[in-house]
Amino acid sequence: MNSWLEKQRSIIDFTIASLLRRKGRNLGLLVVYTAIIFLLASVMLFSHSVKREAQVVLAGSPEVIVQRMVAGRHDLISQDYAEKLKGVRGARNVTPRLWGYYFDPTVSANYTVMVPDDRTIAPKNIVVGEGIARARGAGIGDVLAFRGYDGTLFSFSIAEVLASDSELVSADLMLVSEEDYRSFFGIPDGLFTDIVMTVRNQREVRTVAQKIATALPDTRPILREEILRTYDSLFDWREGMMLVLLAGSVLAFSIFAWEKASGLSAEEKREIGILKAVGWETSDVIRMKFWEGGLVSMFAFLLGYLLAYLHVFHMSAGLFETVLKGWAVLYPDFSPTPFIDGFQVVTLFFFTVFPYTVATIVPIWRAAIIDPDAVMRS
């Protein structure tokens, strides 16, 4: 056992010395390799963490939401619909809601304006999310002025700023009273944005949704489980720009790594020839190359993953901010909760470490079985 270990250590000594002889080339490879793993691991850790957080946080979202559709678009729904929904067997706590969007030209940002059901907001007062407070540079007691649907100027006093640790769900929220909401957007009494409700028996949610769709054919029921599934496929790796960008860089790296690993330089061939001439066996040469590929890819994996971990969970995924922000002015200032999927990490390991290691061994096997004299002479 000891002699086997000593032999491996000697091969590793030789391998590292050989790598150091081509320092620039191998260091370049390590940096690119690490950068690719960093990028892949960052996307993986970030998207998984946001997905899991969504699952936990949105578990409290409404059980069933009923929207009215007109010509394929979401439209206002009347109080009559709420009365009809109360008549559906199994339906409970039917509550019409008022919410919508407001584009604030002062900071070019979209706000989500809501009338809360759980709290009473005094007329001419608002409760805002931390994102709005930051964008407008305002705090409790400050007055914000917005133009209503007919151009009338409305002044609201900030009564409260929602806690900053809830920014992921509340950064762009502006809570107003029902009276202010209706006069601000010009929505007459008896009309609402949508209706939320709960279902008495959890196992009957889908049945109740079907009953609603039959009783009110111009409505669309949205279930909580559908909301959760929406976030389960968030940043789906199979779609979107993320894949295009990642596929491009992974392909570029694959070509680079394949070229480096499989195309033996004349110097490397000469080295193999000399090793064989001084008594190395073919298996030793292959072992040396295995260590070369294994060490480079293991280092790249560990470095890339650890940097990605620090980036996502200790630096709030700062590099992604510009990508995720798009044209949005309001972006929640949040740190992802460190949810890690071990299976994803193992998959990343296998898909990055193994191909490179194998790619280094195959060509060396071809070179190692040829005559050392021929290699050195060529």
Footprint of other proteins on 108-147 (CB under 8 A): 109-110, 112, 114, 116-119, 129, 131
Q: Output the smallest distance, CB 187 to other proteins, in A.
A: 17
Spatial contact of 212 and 85, defined as CB atoms under 8 Å apart: yes
> What is the identity of the amino acid at 159?
A
> Hey, which residues between 212 and 271 contact other proteins (CB under 8 A)?
220, 222, 226-227, 229-231, 233-236, 239-242
Of 107, 117, 227, 128, the C-alpha closest to 170 is: 128
Q: Output the smallest distance, CB 376 to other proteins, in A.
A: 26
Q: Output the smallest distance, CB 155 to other proteins, in A.
A: 23
Residue 74 makes contact with other proteins by CB under 8 A: yes
Residue 57 makes contact with other proteins by CB under 8 A: yes
Q: Which residue has the tokens 């963490």?
A: 49
Q: Output the smallest distance, CB 115 to other proteins, in A.
A: 10
Nearer CB in complex with other proteins: 23/119: 119
Q: 176: which residues sit within 8 A by CB, 6+ positions away? A: 113, 114, 115, 121, 125, 126, 156, 184
- Per-residue mark of binding to other proteins, 312-331 (x: CB under 8 A): -x---------xx-xxxxxx
Nearer CB in complex with other proteins: 26/254: 26
Nearer CB in complex with other proteins: 106/378: 106
Nearer CB in complex with other proteins: 156/269: 156
Distance CA 213, CA 268 (A): 71
Residue 352 makes contact with other proteins by CB under 8 A: no
Of 61, 73, 87, 71, the C-alpha closest to 211 is: 87
Q: Output the smallest distance, CB 200 to other proteins, in A.
A: 18
**Which among 139-147, 211-219, 339-347, 357-365 is the span making contact with other proteins, rule CB under 8 A?**
339-347
Spatial contact of 308 and 41, defined as CB atoms under 8 Å apart: yes
According to DSSP H, which parts of the chain are helical? 2-21, 23-57, 79-86, 130-136, 167-170, 178-185, 205-215, 224-232, 240-262, 266-277, 282-309, 318-325, 342-368, 372-377
